[in-house]
Structure 1
Amino acid sequence: MNQRSSVAELVASLKAELNRYPIGGKLPSSRAMVETHRVSPVTVSRALAQLAAEGLVVTRPGAGVFRAQPRNDTQAPGDTSWQEVALSADGATDAAPRAVDASGVLVTLAAPPSGVIEFNSGYLHSSLRPERAMAAALARAGRRPGAWGRPPVDGIPELREWFARGIGGPVTEAEVLVTAGGQSALTTALRALAPPGAPVLVESPTYPGMLAIARAAGLRPVPVPVDPDGVRPELLAAAFRATGARVFVCQPLFQNPTGAVLSAERRPEVLRIAREAGAFVVEDDFVRRLVHEDAGPLPKPLATDDQDGVVVHVCSLTKATSPSLRVGALAARGPVLERLRSIQIVESFFVPRPLQEATVELVGSPAWNRHLRSVAMELRDRRDTLTAALRGSLPELELPHVPTGGYHLWLRLPDRSDEGAVVSAALRAGVAVAPGRPYFPAEPPAPHLRLSFAGVASRGEITEGVRRLRTACDEAFG
């Protein structure tokens, strides 16, 4: 049984037993609960924390856990219908709607029910994370002089220097801002570069989280199709001419969701087209550290070929470590850097210093490179396992490209098939998959699925997940 279901079951048991104790009555000790319910001390601790958060118990250090005074929930709910008018009134004159749709992001963030295989995860499974190394780094960081003080608003110098070296080329520490992960960096970049109502060119298909950011800022995402060699330059140039856009957002390396890598021939073309349009290129370099073991030499970031400040570079450590290590970077040159800095300061002040110090400890330790090598091997093996299973059991699902980096495969369903029906049938069969529709800023050309091989527990679970997906497709295709 996994930890999540164990905690839920213990919470349910303790809730059922609460009425046995008077208000203020003391519950059994944690040790007694461990023995009675046959669970770990960690499970007991988490269950009690959940009950305390719900106001059902009160914990008193050194004394124990006590039943809390019930809250008065008899008050009638208020009338919030006025908010519909308030939230829509300002939008009446907006050039683009600012309604926020987080459904495409929640697909990869929401934990599926117990027993469901996660082919929809956007992060490494806990068995692939460097959890021991992160815990040790956090412990060392907490003892650093000044670790709990206020950091420089741009980020601590050691971390900015490390990011600058990783980006390479002409990028210096002075041109790097430390951010609270890649999503925060993209939000800052789009707010800095385009006013509400402006068009922003995006790859199609592309990362739903970026589309949500753009729409929440009142921007109008305009799709530019990609193929196995990345964005198509002739269509990019045409889109700039047609829209007058001043921003293009792209993922040149292992693009999400297609896995495409921008070809060497197209790289200078993209920069030239943007420069001639007087536009910025936001380079989302989100999985450079999740390269597979059999990959050849990686192309350098676009930022290394940029002398004129065209590229605003975004990168993050989250994908290669843990969903909770939300540390990333923005790199830019010229006046735009000051605007990026100002927006970040206003929105979040700075990334907490203990987290920055822990990141420096982590990436400076021998465990860091060992972790990257281990993940590179495991992702290659998982990718090959998933690819072989799909080709053997689901040949009707088209797999146009097998990437050598990243953590997912992009599949095209048969024409005129019902993507939503496949996703629903898959969940009933015990496997969660990501639908393709949220990845398209406009009408999709065909139904798709995205399958992640990083969030599952093992290669055996991948094989079982494909078996379940076969059952779902049989149901959906009739």
Structure 2
Amino acid sequence: MNNDSSSRIADQLRAWLATEPPGARLPSTRSLVAQHGAGPVTVQKALRALEAQGLVETRPGVGTFVRAAHTVRAADHGWQTAALRGHQAPLRSVATALRSTPNDVVAFHSGYPDRELLPERMVRAALTRAARSEAALSLPPVAGLPELQSWFAHELGTATPAGVGTPTPGDVIVLPGTQSGLSSVFRALAGAARPVLMESPTYWGAILAAAQAGVHVVPVPVGAAGPDPADLARAFRETGARLFYAQPNYANPTGAQWPAELGRRVLEVVREHGAFLVEDDWAHDFGITTTPVPLAAQDDSGHVVYLRSLTKSVSPAVRVGAVIARGPARERILADRAAESMYVSGLLQAAALDVVTQPGWTTHRRGLRHQLRARRDLLLTSLAEHAPQARVEVVPPGGLNLWLRLPDGTDPARLARDCEAAGVVIAPGSEWFPAEPTGPFVRLNYAGADPGAFPDGARVLGELLARNRD
């Protein structure tokens, strides 16, 4: 008998089993052979198939029986309410930017660049070389591979003006992505229940990290050019905060870049209050019409704690970044990182270092600038034609995103649901506000997949906004 015969017998037995109570005994193999005119091997194969499907169970030396259905009772997790108690800062659900979506939608929501914008060949080659090196089996230093520490320090040092001390490799702590570094900075330099000043709107991951660290976030409003130094000084005075988190270059979500003069004034305010500026340089590799100059390059007194990420520009699979800090602040952050994750994968560090030290890295970044500009301009043109109701307050000189102000009265969450039903995924702006949103906004990523679909996505957005207004 072939497989068709055993399948036929299994189908016949399945129909018979449906009429029998749990625990009923099946006829013996000899009886089934006689009944179906099949060989013992074919009958046994049919029985094994039924057993694999959970319909029968075999008891050696006893026989084969109809499997009893297991009653599934609803799990009661009520005890956890008492065990966990109340949470002072409830953590938000996973951000829209991290959602996976089908390939047939227009994905404006992602927080990462599309694969075609990554140095794919360089990354693959670097991972192969790293896997063959000692890094694949060696325990790396807690603060990171010395060569990678040197690279981060040198990169920031090249932007440091004369008369300002350049960072040293010993100031660098390599991170498994800067998201974890944010949590460590907030815990180590502020502490639970202490105030932390934060731009509003700002990166949703910073809001999440602050909640995880248990700090009290105090929003500082920012406009098209960044925060007002007077507002920042007042917030320091009124709250007693000693930490200000900001993204001076290509802020997420607005895309704004601080003018040089504003950066100097903010540094003055921070120094006057004996505080720290946590500078998140997440988009350092994504300049379009300008080149980012970190504020950390202007400070050698330890007031600026600098975060530099490679995750988005090298590969999401190579989660490597760094924090550069000086003095006791650096030691406190290192102690927190050691307690949190002990060390960063040496293999990933070696791969990241390989990529950024290749001659092709500079060439890749130069080409990336042109690719991002073309995508940004295509989305701007598409929105102007199909969704003129949405206003782009800042044409970003770099980064990955457009920040859209919607007509008053628009519900961004409802708009996002309606867009998704029409095959377009957007990110409601409320996720980027540490307190109440100041208006209806959405964030659109122009570095996602399939820029050819931008006009269609903008058309859907415009139609739904018009319907909302009507």
Q: Which amino acid aligns with 1:84?
A: T
Q: Deviations over 1:367-391 (max 9, x none)?
A: 3223212221110000000011111
Verify the 8 A CA contact 1:208 1:438 in the aligned structure 2. Answer: yes
| Alpha-carbon separation, structure 2, partners of 1:394 and 1:329 | 39
- 1:397 matched to 2:379: no
* Aligned residue number for residue 20 of structure 2: none
73 and 275 in structure 1: CA distance in 2 versus 1, 3 angstrom threshold: farther
| Alpha-carbon separation, structure 1, partners of 2:124 and 2:458 | 34
99 and 145 in structure 1: CA distance in 2 versus 1, 3 angstrom threshold: same
Q: Deviations over 1:258-300 (max 9, x none)?
A: 11111111112111211221211100000010111xx13x342
| Alpha-carbon separation, structure 2, partners of 1:422 and 1:20 | 53
Bigger Rg over Cα: 2
| Alpha-carbon separation, structure 1, partners of 2:274 and 2:170 | 24
Q: 1:83 aligns with which of 80, 85, 97?
A: 80
Aligned residues: 405
- 1:416 matched to 2:409: yes
Compute the displacement of 1:436 (Å).
0.8
TM-score of the two chains, using structure 1 as the length reference: 0.81
- Note the 1:264-413 alignment, pairs <5 A: 264-292=260-288, 295-296=289-290, 298-413=291-406
Q: Which amino acid aligns with 1:85?
A: A
Verify the 8 A CA contact 2:387 2:463 in the aligned structure 1. Answer: no
Q: Deviations over 1:173-227 (max 9, x none)?
A: 1100000011111111111111111111000110111111111221111111112
Verify the 8 A CA contact 1:240 1:277 in the aligned structure 2. Answer: yes
Comparing 439-448 with 281-290, greater Cα deviation is found at 439-448
372 and 85 in structure 1: CA distance in 2 versus 1, 3 angstrom threshold: same
Q: Deviations over 1:214-249 (max 9, x none)?
A: 112211111111122211101000101111111100
263 and 85 in structure 1: CA distance in 2 versus 1, 3 angstrom threshold: same
SS in 1 for 2:454: helix
Q: Deviations over 1:341-388 (max 9, x none)?
A: 110001001111111111111112233223212221110000000011
| Alpha-carbon separation, structure 1, partners of 2:50 and 2:461 | 46
SS in 2 for 1:289: coil
Q: Which amino acid aligns with 1:113?
A: P
* Aligned residue number for residue 197 of structure 2: 201
Q: CA RMSD in A?
A: 2.2
Q: 2:467 aligns with which of 456, 459, 475?
A: 475
116 and 146 in structure 1: CA distance in 2 versus 1, 3 angstrom threshold: closer
SS in 2 for 1:153: coil
Compute the displacement of 1:21 (Å).
12
* Aligned residue number for residue 149 of structure 2: 160
| Alpha-carbon separation, structure 2, partners of 1:244 and 1:381 | 45
Compute the displacement of 1:75 (Å).
6.0
| Structure 2 gaps, min length 5 | 1-6, 11-48, 55-68, 161-165
- 1:123 matched to 2:112: yes
- TM superposition outliers: structure 1 runs of 4+ over 3 Å: 19-22, 66-78
- Note the 1:54-65 alignment, pairs <5 A: none
SS in 2 for 1:410: strand
Verify the 8 A CA contact 1:258 1:409 in the aligned structure 2. Answer: yes
Q: 2:121 aligns with which of 124, 132, 141?
A: 132
| Alpha-carbon separation, structure 2, partners of 1:474 and 1:75 | 49
Compute the displacement of 1:120 (Å).
0.4
* Aligned residue number for residue 175 of structure 2: 179
- Note the 1:423-462 alignment, pairs <5 A: 423-458=416-451, 460-462=452-454
| Alpha-carbon separation, structure 2, partners of 1:216 and 1:411 | 29
| Alpha-carbon separation, structure 2, partners of 1:100 and 1:371 | 37
| Structure 1 gaps, min length 5 | 1-18, 23-65, 92-96
| Alpha-carbon separation, structure 2, partners of 1:137 and 1:20 | 54
| Alpha-carbon separation, structure 2, partners of 1:322 and 1:313 | 21
Identical-pair percentage: 42
* Aligned residue number for residue 30 of structure 2: none
TM-score of the two chains, using structure 2 as the length reference: 0.82
Compute the displacement of 1:121 (Å).
0.5
Verify the 8 A CA contact 2:256 2:397 in the aligned structure 1. Answer: no
* Aligned residue number for residue 89 of structure 2: 98
Q: Deviations over 1:83-128 (max 9, x none)?
A: 1122125x5xxxxx1321134xx20011123411110000011222
Compute the displacement of 1:151 (Å).
0.4
* Aligned residue number for residue 249 of structure 2: 253
74 and 128 in structure 1: CA distance in 2 versus 1, 3 angstrom threshold: farther
* Aligned residue number for residue 42 of structure 1: none
Verify the 8 A CA contact 2:408 2:440 in the aligned structure 1. Answer: yes
